[in-house]
Structure 1
Amino acid sequence: MRKTKLSFDTPIYVLAPLAGYTDLPFRSVVKKFGADLTVSEMLSSNALVHGSSKTLSMIEKSPNEDPYSVQIAGAEVDVIKQAVEILNEQGGIDVIDLNCGCPVPKIVGHGSGSSLLLNLPLMGNIIRTMKDTSNKEFTSVKIRLGFEKKNHIEIAKVVEDSGADFLAVHGRTRAGKFKAAVDYDAIKEIKEAVKIPVIANGDIDSYEKAKWVLEHTGADGIMIGRGAVGAPWIFHQLKSGTKEIDKNIKHAIILEHFDKMIEFYGSYGVVMFRKHLHTYSKGYSGASALRVRINHIVDPYECRSMIDDFFSNSEIVC
């Protein structure tokens, strides 16, 4: 077992897994510009066990992702065990994380994700199996506050008692999906109730909000997902302690992200980058025209030149 650089001596900043967004290029960029820990997109334990080439490719990490966490989802102890054994053969993984928070009906319908919050004995059994099977340094769990109603202390205690090294808490119930108000008081209560490190998650979308959540909850770190899409420099802000971020740094990060997309996906990276560029350009003069143009460009060199020119010359208007 290799020793990682992951420490909770000071608050850590974690990029949350987001399907379709936190691929290797995006993770490598936020890692370069400040994230302490990056997490793979959620992987199906069933797909891993059945040898899905797409799922196996999602494990791939950038060289700078150190430490690195792989998140799995599943509801069958034997399948989870086999999935962990497969991950044991993969180098460069420091954390195996169990998703107990995903609210998506397809995941919940299979008994995975936040559905595990309805069966805490099973959830605990799965965590113990992961911990006993894994040859990685850390086993972690991501939870919500409950399924229909909050029983967050009970859930967190099961996570701790089952051997997890740390947990991330999304401050909503499953019923709250992504729209209900985040209950940061509940995250604080979890932090006060358990001895393992707690990472706060949910609607952390600015430097100011991140600092407030850390102070209010007393958490050992924060996990940012949607708040980093279109603004990966939030990690740079947090690591540097700088509220304002220079336009040139944003420009450099955007180009770095584009280059990584082309490096990873080839010319198809131009198409893949469109959704990111639509978000990056919000608030800039000429953003609407840029979005129209980008949808008709497929050449990487032409696209990069256009992006470089736009962020060199356009002004932030809101």
Structure 2
Amino acid sequence: MIDFSKKPLFLAPMAGFSDLPLRNLVKQFGADVTISEMISSNALVYESAKTLKMLQKAELEKPYIVQIAGSDENIIQKAVQILNQFDFIDGIDFNCGCPVNKIIKQNAGSALLQDLGKLQKILELIKKISNKKLTSVKVRIGYDKKEPIAIAKACENAGVDFISMHGRTRKQMYNGNSNYEAIALAKENIKIPLIANGDINAKNANDVFMITNCDALMIGRASIGKPWIFYEIKSGKKIDKAMKNKIIFTHFEEMLKHYKGQGVSIFRKHLHEYSKGYEDASNFRNQVNRITDADTMRKYIQEFFNKE
């Protein structure tokens, strides 16, 4: 389902950002594989209505992978059984990379990097129960120290199809630089595909491929406010202003379609990113923060981005 010989580009799962509208957008601009926002296995099992909406797939998504997080094996088993009911899901990714305290306190996300035996057991469980074509895992290079080889080996031994590795420890959160040499060490020591993640953008993408010898790249924060980054990496060309504007307007309309009335307020964070580098961006952000009406927001977006 994923041709790693073509060095594919993945959109990283990002809470609050990699929702259906953004995933549909990046698919139009060169993203090869998309992954849902991180979904708590607890939420999937106990709060199904709201969480099930997060599972929805955009029309262009193929393959489509859903990422789950958790640490309780019984709950994870039930969550996978729920996902098994949806034929449009092509793979399940397990989150062992999230560094935020709320997740760590549940012994989930990056916390599992402290117990590779438990991590391997959970991955084996997902692989065994899932009826999907793909099982994968997202990790960091360590918890408070670098252990990229041990982590990658544990995941490979569990039978996953591929690993994506963020080049920071949990302790670093998002501070300091992503360590591509550590990702390279992991890649050298496993036979399954490895995806490099962390601080990757249009300028350094080729260098990251060279340093890590990885099979694919995963783009996260660099795609926020720049969903066309996948096109720029693949083509080596920049997109023009008219196309940027078209993408921004399309994104807004997709948000309204997906979130209905809430789409206006949810889109503000994207407008904050889209407007970076524009003259009078600060004033524009202040204005849109107060807007709750779709037509008014549409007018402000048109005027601001067309005047440049």
Q: Residue 42 of structure 2 is aligned with which of 46, 60, 74?
A: 46
Structure 1 unmatched runs, 5+: none
Over the aligned positions, Cα root-mean-square deviation in angstroms equals 1.3
Cα distance between partner residues in 2 of 1:41 and 1:159: 21
After the TM superposition, which residues 231-270 of structure 1 pair with which residues of structure 2 at under 5 Å, given as runs? 231-239=226-234, 241-270=235-264
Tell me the secondary structure at the aligned position of residue 200 of structure 1. Answer: strand
After the TM superposition, which residues 1-318 of structure 1 pair with which residues of structure 2 at under 5 Å, given as runs? 4=1, 6-204=2-200, 206-239=201-234, 241-314=235-308
Q: Could you tell me the TM-score, scaled by structure 1's length?
A: 0.93
Tell me the secondary structure at the aligned position of residue 113 of structure 2. Answer: helix
Deviates most, 294-303 or 269-278: 294-303
8 Å contact 1:95–1:139 — kept in the other structure? Answer: yes
1:42 Cα deviation after fit: 0.6
Structure 2 unmatched runs, 5+: none
Cα distance between partner residues in 2 of 1:99 and 1:209: 25
Tell me the secondary structure at the aligned position of residue 65 of structure 2. Answer: strand
Cα distance between partner residues in 2 of 1:295 and 1:51: 30
Cα distance between partner residues in 2 of 1:50 and 1:118: 27
Cα distance between partner residues in 1 of 2:113 and 2:91: 21
Q: Could you tell me the TM-score, scaled by structure 2's length?
A: 0.96
Cα distance between partner residues in 1 of 2:61 and 2:281: 32
8 Å contact 1:207–1:243 — kept in the other structure? Answer: no
Tell me the secondary structure at the aligned position of residue 165 of structure 2. Answer: strand
Cα distance between partner residues in 2 of 1:280 and 1:170: 25
Tell me the secondary structure at the aligned position of residue 207 of structure 1. Answer: coil
Cα distance between partner residues in 1 of 2:264 and 2:9: 29
Cα distance between partner residues in 1 of 2:184 and 2:50: 38
Cα distance between partner residues in 1 of 2:265 and 2:70: 31
May I ask how many residue pairs the two structures share in their alignment?
Answer: 308
Tell me the secondary structure at the aligned position of residue 6 of structure 2. Answer: coil
- Alignment-mate amino acid for residue 233 of structure 1: W
- Alignment-mate amino acid for residue 186 of structure 1: A
Tell me the secondary structure at the aligned position of residue 219 of structure 1. Answer: coil
Cα distance between partner residues in 2 of 1:165 and 1:180: 30
Cα distance between partner residues in 2 of 1:183 and 1:290: 36
Runs (4+) off by over 4 Å: none
Cα distance between partner residues in 2 of 1:106 and 1:286: 36
8 Å contact 1:208–1:243 — kept in the other structure? Answer: no
**Could you give the per-residue CA deviations for residues 235-259 of structure 1, whole angstroms, max 9, x where no partner exists?**
12123x1232211221111111111
| % identical equivalent positions | 49
